[in-house]
């Protein structure tokens, strides 16, 4: 008998989750509205700064908004796909992970496909809206490289932020009580990533570029798009290597995940 | 009354056993604190050295005091009650002879006391060591500050309690919690001081109880506001608390009714 | 058919370090030997009952042979695989039912759980449908397919769990306390199904339980574990013999009577002024029928019941003997 391909299997899994969400109509749209509100409030933070000063980290409001928007789109995508991983502590407590382990599917994939939070895309809509609004005023020259960067940055950003989620997820197995530690790079990373990296003081700048590459998710590519140079330790040309940074981030995630599973199954001793 | 004291003490002890959690919390606080300091410093240097009365030292004090108070005031995510509602265990809580709100309030104060020490001190140390902290000019800042803190924690608790009660009406509380977190942390002045908001936004902010959860205790404790002005701020906190507690009583009563009618 | 054991345990051990607070500040570490050197093997097609008191090490053993936990030392092979490194490959050959934890999707209708599991096990649509329909039919789940799992009763849900564990036709079915909390009818239904399933497909059965009725009905072999060690491995009759299991015949008499004196059994109690009397006998030495015959010779018997021995008693006896 023919065996289902992995792709078909995942399609069925994710399809059922999406369908089940759309089934609860009213609550779903309410959640989308909430997600939009979250995106807006985060933008107001940037706006409030510019209500006080015209230039922030070497960027004006429009330029900063581009960074913010690209970062948020990436993060919203990552949150939609990987956001489910923050239920791991609950699963651990309830002992539900054992049920998942006796299934012939990798644990990470089971958790990721166990829920697809469609409503988090509301935040993404805010990001897209902002990009659409500020793009004309930025007066960019639309060369091939600019267009390439504009299109690919949200996805590479999503990959980077997704890696943070995965690192956090894997770490839950050995951090347990120390789970809050992961907020430092998941939500700290999202925060640092939507700001102009030039405002970050040096130690933080290094942390969020070379360890958890949040500034590479949106700020550096944005500098390249707008043709601006970067600050100390953060030259704009690094932005071309965003995919490399994404691979690095996933390497960390894989390490955390492996350590976590081994700890859970007791192989760590 | 004694029971509530016992509850508070038990919660204090409970939090003291999570040593790893404390360390993790301090690390995260430091990272966020440094990011926030970065933002304010960049804004201030952009404005030429001072911004709306904040210079570098005041800004640093603001951020680190904010980080110190963040854990006790517990702005960020707590859904124990909501979890108990969705699992149905909440029925047990209602069956107990203690009032739900008061019992959890007492527990929250116990938690806050512990976290004031465990999570409050390290950021202040970091702040003092890095840029230096600005201390208040008048001794009255301390007792008023303490009162302000107590009110802030209670206001935060009552709001969190209300948000948790939403679980009685909808299966999915997480969306509301997320919204509450983002809106609340912005309007309480965590990101940038409310005093730096554009005028129209300040009006919106003060129409909510959020600034009284963080901005006000920071203002009183750091000596930004002194004497009678500070006392007036504390009074406004009290007013908010009274209003919110009233609302919470009503909502709790309706939630209890709903439980009985719906059967969980 | 290979005669390789489907489960093989060789001097299996698993210890945990537990940190306890002693006094105000100090912490004491204690090592708990949950599984302390267990060796056994299960042949394909066998039905094995795994019993022991709570905390004796049953769940830990199960976790080790399903790939959830790594042994501290010793060897374990399930379906020929080393469970932890080959967890996913093993998962295709075994089905596991956790009595206390559900593997079904809580908020979805039952039929969706089957469909999703079919996809996870990479069964083609036709294969999954055929197998699901068969299971649904034999477990009487047809009316429940469209009910969300959280609305099912415990008995209904357990039937769903067993079906879910068998969708992919595993060679080995592991059940961890499957009948806990179930009423007699549901238990009987489940047992009946498992017996039939085994007869038709030769599925190997490994069952942990507290209910001797499960063992009697389903298993031809019993493993008894106490404090991490195996204290008995053999058939149920030989267990009964070894432990000199006593059964109790409870007879209801038409009117209050003095204590019955019967040669084959010992009088151990009277209720209602002697209208109900309890007689303990050893099945090794006599049968319930003979005891009843002796009683009937002396007086009329209005009603009677037969009581089973409890697991705790068995373990206690075994531990005392072995």
ipTM of the complex: 0.87
Question: Which of the four pLDDT bands, split at 50, 70 and 90, describes residue C22?
Answer: low
Which subunits count as partners of chain C given 3+ CB pairs below 8 Å?
Answer: A
Q: Give A82-92 pLDDT, tens digit per residue.
A: 888 878 887 88
Q: Give C140-183 pLDDT, tens digit per residue.
A: 899 999 888 888 888 899 999 999 999 999 999 999 988 888 88
What's the burial of B49, exposed, middle or buried (CB within 10 Å: 0-12/13-18/19+)? exposed
The mean pLDDT value of chain B amounts to: 83
Q: Tell me the average pLDDT across C294-300.
A: 87
Taking the Cβ of residue C12 and every Cβ of chain A, the question of whether any pair is shorter than 8 Å is answered with: no
Taking contacts as CB-CB distances below 8 angstroms, the residues of chain A near C63 are: 98
Nearest CA-CA partner of A98 in A258, A261, A254, A256:
A261
Are C66 and A102 within 8 A, CB to CB?
yes
Sorted by where each begins, the domain ranges of chain A are 15-264
Q: Give C223-280 pLDDT, tens digit per residue.
A: 998 888 888 898 887 887 776 667 788 888 888 888 888 887 877 778 888 888 888 8
Residue A1 has pLDDT above 50, yes or no: no
User: How far is A184 from chain B, CA to nearest CA, in Å?
Assistant: 5
User: How far is A259 from chain C, CA to nearest CA, in Å?
Assistant: 14
Taking contacts as CB-CB distances below 8 angstroms, the residues of chain A near B51 are: 52-53
Nearest CA-CA partner of C301 in C289, C309, C284:
C289
Residue bearing the bigger pLDDT, B64 or B5: B64
Q: How many CB atoms lie within 10 A of CB A45?
A: 19
Are A102 and C101 within 8 A, CB to CB?
no
d(CA B202, CA A129): 25
Q: Tell me the average pLDDT across B55-80.
A: 82
Residue B264 has pLDDT above 60, yes or no: no
Taking the Cβ of residue C96 and every Cβ of chain A, the question of whether any pair is shorter than 8 Å is answered with: yes
d(CA C299, CA C256): 11
Q: Tell me the average pLDDT across A232-261.
A: 91
Question: Which of the four pLDDT bands, split at 50, 70 and 90, describes residue A115?
Answer: confident
Per mean pLDDT, which range of A20-34, B199-213, C93-107 is the poorest? A20-34
C246-321 CATH: 3.30.70
Taking the Cβ of residue A192 and every Cβ of chain B, the question of whether any pair is shorter than 8 Å is answered with: yes
Question: Which of the four pLDDT bands, split at 50, 70 and 90, describes residue C321?
Answer: very low
What's the burial of C60, exposed, middle or buried (CB within 10 Å: 0-12/13-18/19+)? buried
Q: Tell me the average pLDDT across B63-75.
A: 86
Are B201 and A203 within 8 A, CB to CB?
no
d(CA C152, CA C182): 13
Query: What b-and-e string marks burial along A6-42, b requiring 16 or more CB atoms within 10 Å of the CB?
Result: eeebbebbbebbeebbeeeeeebebbbebbbbbbbbb
Q: How many A/B residue pairs have CB atoms within 8 Å?
A: 113
pTM strictly above 0.90: no
Q: What is the pLDDT of residue B20?
A: 75
The mean pLDDT value of chain A amounts to: 86
Q: Tell me the average pLDDT across A101-116.
A: 84
Q: Tell me the average pLDDT across B198-214.
A: 91
d(CA B35, CA B67): 11
Choose among C91, C107, C108: nearest Cβ to A102. C91
Detail the DSSP E strand segments found in chain C. 7-21, 27-42, 47-51, 73-78, 94-98, 172-176, 204-208, 221-226, 229-234, 247-252, 266-271, 276-281, 303-307
Q: Tell me the average pLDDT across C289-311.
A: 83
Taking contacts as CB-CB distances below 8 angstroms, the residues of chain A near C125 are: 4
User: How far is B257 from chain A, CA to nearest CA, in Å?
Assistant: 23
Per mean pLDDT, which range of A62-66, C83-87, C122-126 is the poorest? C122-126
Choose among B19, B43, B186: nearest Cβ to A53. B43
Taking contacts as CB-CB distances below 8 angstroms, the residues of chain C near A2 are: 124
CATH 3.30.70.580, applies to C7-241: no
User: How far is B26 from chain A, CA to nearest CA, in Å?
Assistant: 9
Report which listed range, B18-22, B73-77, B97-101, is most confident: B97-101
Residue A48 has pLDDT above 80, yes or no: yes
The mean pLDDT value of chain C amounts to: 85
Per mean pLDDT, which range of A191-200, B146-155, B207-216, C298-307 is the poorest? C298-307
Residue C322 has pLDDT above 60, yes or no: no
Q: How many CB atoms lie within 10 A of CB C222?
A: 22
Q: What is the pLDDT of residue A247?
A: 96
Choose among C69, C101, C122: nearest Cβ to A266. C69
Are B34 and A176 within 8 A, CB to CB?
no
Tokens representing residue A257 in the block: 């995940």
Taking the Cβ of residue A183 and every Cβ of chain B, the question of whether any pair is shorter than 8 Å is answered with: yes
Percent of chain B, pLDDT > 70?
A: 91
Are A104 and C69 within 8 A, CB to CB?
no
What residue numbers bound the domain in which B91 lies? 2-262
Q: What is the pLDDT of residue A269?
A: 33
d(CA B29, CA B122): 9
Choose among A49, A57, A119: nearest Cβ to B192. A49
Report which listed range, B148-157, B169-178, B255-264, C1-10, is most confident: B148-157
Q: In this structure, are residues B92 and A92 in contact, taking their beta carbons and an 8 Å threshold?
A: no
The total of structural domains in chain B comes to 1
């Amino acid at each position: 008998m023919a065996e289902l391909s992995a792709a078909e299997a995942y399609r069925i899994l994710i399809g059922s989750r999406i369908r089940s969400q759309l089934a609860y109509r009213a609550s779903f749209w309410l959640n989308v509205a909430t997600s939009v509100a979250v995106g807006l409030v985060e933008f107001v933070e940037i706006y409030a700064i510019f209500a006080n000063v015209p230039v922030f980290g070497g960027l004006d409001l429009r330029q900063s908004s581009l960074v913010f928007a690209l970062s948020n789109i990436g993060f919203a995508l990552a949150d939609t796909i990987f956001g489910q991983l923050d239920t791991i502590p609950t699963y651990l407590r309830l002992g539900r992970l054992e049920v998942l382990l006796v299934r012939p599917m990798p644990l990470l994939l089971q958790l990721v496909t166990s829920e697809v939070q469609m409503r988090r895309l509301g935040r993404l809509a805010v990001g897209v809206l902002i990009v659409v609004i500020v793009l004309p005023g930025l007066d960019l020259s639309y060369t091939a490289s600019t267009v390439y960067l504009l299109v690919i940055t949200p996805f590479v950003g999503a990959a980077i932020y997704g890696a943070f989620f995965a690192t956090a997820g894997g770490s839950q197995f050995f951090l347990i009580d120390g789970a809050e530690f992961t907020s430092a790079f998941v939500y700290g990373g999202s925060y640092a990533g939507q700001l102009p990296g030039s405002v970050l003081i040096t130690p933080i700048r290094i942390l969020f570029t070379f360890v958890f590459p949040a500034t590479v998710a949106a700020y550096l590519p944005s500098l390249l798009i707008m043709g601006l140079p970067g600050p100390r330790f953060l030259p704009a040309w690094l932005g071309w290597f965003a995919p490399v940074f994404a691979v690095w981030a996933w390497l960390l995630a894989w390490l955390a995940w492996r350590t976590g599973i081994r700890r859970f199954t007791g192989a760590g001793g | 009354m004694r029971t509530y004291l016992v509850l508070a003490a038990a919660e204090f002890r409970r939090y003291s056993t999570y040593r790893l959690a404390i360390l993790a919390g301090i690390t995260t606080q430091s990272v966020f604190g440094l990011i926030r300091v970065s933002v304010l410093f960049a804004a201030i240097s952009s404005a030429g050295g001072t911004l709306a009365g904040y210079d570098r030292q005041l800004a640093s004090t603001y951020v680190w005091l904010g980080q110190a108070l963040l854990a006790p005031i517990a702005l960020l995510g707590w859904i124990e009650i909501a979890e108990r509602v969705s699992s149905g265990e909440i029925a047990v809580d209602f069956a107990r002879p203690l009032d739900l709100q008061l019992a959890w309030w007492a527990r929250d104060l116990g938690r806050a006391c512990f976290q004031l020490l465990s999570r409050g001190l390290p950021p202040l140390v970091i702040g003092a060591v890095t840029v230096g902290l600005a201390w208040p000019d008048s001794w009255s800042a301390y007792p008023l500050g303490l009162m302000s803190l107590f009110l802030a924690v209670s206001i935060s608790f009552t709001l969190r309690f209300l948000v948790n009660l939403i679980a009685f009406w909808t299966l999915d509380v997480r969306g509301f919690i997320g919204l509450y977190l983002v809106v609340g942390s912005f309007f309480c002045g965590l990101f940038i001081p409310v005093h730096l908001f554009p005028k129209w936004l300040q009006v919106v902010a003060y129409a909510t109880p959020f600034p009284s959860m963080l901005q006000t205790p920071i203002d009183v404790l750091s000596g930004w506001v002194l004497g009678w002005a500070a006392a007036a701020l504390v009074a406004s906190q009290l007013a908010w608390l009274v209003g919110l507690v009233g609302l919470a009583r009503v909502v709790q009563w309706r939630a209890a009714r709903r439980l009985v009618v719906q059967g969980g | 058919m290979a005669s390789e054991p489907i489960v093989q345990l060789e001097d299996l051990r698993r210890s945990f370090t537990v940190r306890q607070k002693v006094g105000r500040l100090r912490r004491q570490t204690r090592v708990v030997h949950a599984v302390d050197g267990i060796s056994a093997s299960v042949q394909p097609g066998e039905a094995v009952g795994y019993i022991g008191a709570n905390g004796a090490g049953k769940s830990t053993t199960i976790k080790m042979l399903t790939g959830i936990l790594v042994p501290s030392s010793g060897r374990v092979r399930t379906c020929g695989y080393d469970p932890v490194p080959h967890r996913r490959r093993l998962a295709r050959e075994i089905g596991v039912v956790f009595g206390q934890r559900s593997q079904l999707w809580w908020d979805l209708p039952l039929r969706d759980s089957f469909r999703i599991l079919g996809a996870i096990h990479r069964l083609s649509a036709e294969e999954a449908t055929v197998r699901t329909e068969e299971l649904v039919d034999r477990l009487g789940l047809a009316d429940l397919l469209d009910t969300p799992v959280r609305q099912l009763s415990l008995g209904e849900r357990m039937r769903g769990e067993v079906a879910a564990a068998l969708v992919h036709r595993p060679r080995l079915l592991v059940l961890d306390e499957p009948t806990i909390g179930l009423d007699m009818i549901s238990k009987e239904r489940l047992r009946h199904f498992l017996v039939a399933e085994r007869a038709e497909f030769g599925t190997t059965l490994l069952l942990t339980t507290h209910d001797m009725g499960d063992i009697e009905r389903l298993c031809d072999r019993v493993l008894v574990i106490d404090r991490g060690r195996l204290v008995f491995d053999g058939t149920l009759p030989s267990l009964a013999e070894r432990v000199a299991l006593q059964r109790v015949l409870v007879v209801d008499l038409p009117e209050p009577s003095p204590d019955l004196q019967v040669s084959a059994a010992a009088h151990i109690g009277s209720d209602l002024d002697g209208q109900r009397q309890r007689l303990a006998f050893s099945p090794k030495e006599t049968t319930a029928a003979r005891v009843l015959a002796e009683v009937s010779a002396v007086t009329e018997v209005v009603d009677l019941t037969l009581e089973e021995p409890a697991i705790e008693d068995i373990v206690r006896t075994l531990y005392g003997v072995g």
